Amino acid sequence: MNLAERLLEALKGYGVKEIFGIPGDFALPLFKVIEETNILPLYTLSHEPAVGFAADAAARFHSKPSVAAVTYGAGAFNMVNPVAAAYAEKSPVIVISGGPGMADKSTGLLVHHQAKQLNSQLQVYKEVTCDQVILEDLTQAPEQIARVIRNCIIESRPVYIEAPRDKVFEPCEPVPVLPLTTACDADALAACTDEIIQSIRQAQSPVLMVGVEIRRYDLEKDVAILSRKLGIPVATTFMGKGLLAGEAVVLKGTYMGLAGEQELTEQVESSDGLFLLGVLLSDTNFGISEKKIDLRKTILACDGSVSLGFHTYPKIPIRELVLALNEKLPDKPQREVTTFDYPKGLDLTDKPITPTDIATAVNDMFDNYGSLPIAADMGDCLFTAMDIEYTELVAPGYYATMGYGVPSGLGVQAATGRRPLILVGDGAFQMTGIELLNCRRYGWNPIVLVFNNSSWEMLRAFQPESAFNDLDKLDFAALANAIGGCGQTVKTKKELHVALNRAFGDESCFQLVDISLERGLMSNTLARFVDGIKKMRKTNSPP
128 binds ligand S1T (CB under 6 A): no
Q: Which of residues 478-497 bind ligand S1T (CB under 6 A)?
A: none
Cα–Cα distance measured from residue 273 to residue 308, given in angstroms and rounded to the nearest whole number: 10
Q: Is 425 one of the binding residues for Mg ion (CB under 5 A)?
A: yes
Rounded CA separation 513/487 (Å) = 6
Length of the chain in terms of residues written: 543
- Residue among 181, 278, 196 nearest 239 (CA): 278
Question: Could you tell me the smallest distance in angstroms from the CB atom of residue 538 to Mg ion?
Answer: 26
By beta-carbon proximity to ligand S1T, the closer residue of 313 and 456 is: 456
- Nearest distance from residue 430's CB to Mg ion, in Å? 9
Phi/psi at 421 (5° precision)? -100, 125
Size of the site for Mg ion (CB under 5 A): 6
Interface region with Mg ion, contact rule CB under 5 A, candidates 282-290, 308-316, 383-391, 425-433: 425-433
Chosen from ligand S1T, Mg ion, none, partner binding at 410 (C-beta under 5 to 8 Å by type)? none
For ligand S1T, which is the closer residue by CB, 500 or 526? 526
Helix (H) or strand (E) holding 447: strand 447-452
**Pairing of the two strands 305-308 and 251-254:** unpaired
Residue 401 in the binding site for ligand S1T (CB under 6 A): yes
Distance between CA 390 and CA 373 in Å, rounded? 10
Residue number with CB closer to Mg ion (101 or 425) = 425
Q: Does 380 bind ligand S1T (CB under 6 A)?
A: yes
Per CB under 5 A, 426 contacts Mg ion: yes
In angstroms, the CA 42 to CA 101 distance is 24
Residue with Cβ nearer Mg ion (223 or 402):
402
Contact call for residue 313 and ligand S1T (CB under 6 A): no
Q: Is 456 in the site for ligand S1T (CB under 6 A)?
A: yes
The reply on whether position 523 binds Mg ion by CB under 5 A is: no
Residue 453 binds to Mg ion (criterion: CB under 5 A): yes
Distances (CA, A) of 45 to 50, 441, 531: 7, 10, 39
**Residue 200 near ligand S1T by CB under 6 A:** no
Bin 231: left if φ > 0, else alpha if -120 < ψ < 50, else beta: left
Among Mg ion, ligand S1T, none, what does residue 400 contact (CB within 5–8 Å per kind)? ligand S1T
Using the rule CB under 6 A, give the single segment among 98-106, 455-463, 481-489, 491-499 that binds ligand S1T: 455-463
Tell me the closest approach of the beta carbon of residue 166 to ligand S1T, in angstroms: 36
Q: What angle do CA 383, 385, 494 make, to 5 degrees?
A: 110
Output the CA–CA distances (angstroms, integers) from residue 100 to 91, 96, 237, in the order listed.
28, 13, 43
By the 10 Å C-beta count (0-12 exposed, 13-18 middle, 19+ buried), 443 is classed as exposed
Q: Which is nearer to Mg ion, 100 or 427 (CB)?
A: 427
CA distance 422 to 405: 6
H-helix segments, 203-233:
213-216, 220-230
Please tell me whether residue 455 binds Mg ion under the rule CB under 5 A: yes
Burial 179-214 (b: 16+ CB within 10 A, else e): eeeeebeeeebeebbebbeebbeebeebbbbbbbbb
Residue 458 touches which of ligand S1T, Mg ion, none (CB < 5 to 8 A by kind)? ligand S1T
- Count H helices, E strands: the chain? 23, 19
Instruction: Work out how close the CB of 420 gets to ligand S1T at its nearest, in angstroms, rounded to a whole number.
Output: 18
290 binds ligand S1T per the rule CB under 6 A: no
Q: Could you tell me if 54 and 31 are in contact, meaning their C-beta atoms sit under 8 angstroms apart?
A: no
Among 427, 485, 487, 532, binds ligand S1T (CB under 6 A): 427
Per the CB < 8 A criterion, the answer to whether 427 and 399 are in contact is no
Considering CB under 6 A, how many residues would be counted as binding ligand S1T?
A: 19
| Binding flag, residue 451, ligand S1T (CB under 6 A) | yes
Shortest approach of ligand S1T to residue 469 CB, angstroms? 8
With CB under 6 A as the contact rule, the residue among 356, 363, 438, 453 that binds ligand S1T is 453
Rounded Cα–Cα distance for residues 211 and 531 (Å):
24
Sign of CA dihedral 250, 251, 257, 263: negative
CB of 521 to Mg ion, least distance (A): 10
Look at residue 288 and give the partner it binds from ligand S1T, Mg ion, none, a contact being a CB closer than 5 to 8 Å depending on partner kind.
none
Q: Which residue is nearest to Mg ion (CB)?
A: 425
Query: Smallest distance from the beta carbon of 275 to ligand S1T, in angstroms?
Result: 30
Reading phi first (left if > 0) and then psi (alpha if -120 to 50, else beta), residue 90 is in: left
Q: Coil, helix or strand for 371?
A: coil
Nearer to ligand S1T by Cβ, of 82 and 233: the residue is 82
Q: Considering the complex, what minimum distance in angstroms separates the CB of residue 535 from ligand S1T?
A: 17
The minimum distance between CB 427 and Mg ion, in angstroms, equals 5
Q: CB-wise, 2 or 454, nearer to Mg ion?
A: 454
Spatial distance between the Cα atoms of 272 and 266, rounded to a whole number of angstroms = 12
* 104 or 377: CB nearest ligand S1T: 377
Could you tell me if 216 and 243 are in contact, meaning their C-beta atoms sit under 8 angstroms apart? no
Q: Binding residue for ligand S1T (CB under 6 A) from 458, 480, 490, 512?
A: 458
Residues 499-518 that bind Mg ion (CB under 5 A): none
Candidates 206, 403, 446, 485: give the one binding ligand S1T (CB under 6 A).
403
Residue number with CB closer to Mg ion (350 or 465)? 465
Which of these ranges, 218-226, 396-404, 406-414, 485-493, lies near ligand S1T under the rule CB under 6 A? Answer: 396-404
Q: Which residues contact 108 (CB under 8 A, 6 or more apart)?
A: none
Q: Summarize as ranges the residues that interact with Mg ion (CB under 5 A).
A: 425-427, 453, 455, 457
Q: Which chain residues interact with ligand S1T by CB under 6 A?
A: 378-381, 400-403, 425-428, 451, 453, 455-459
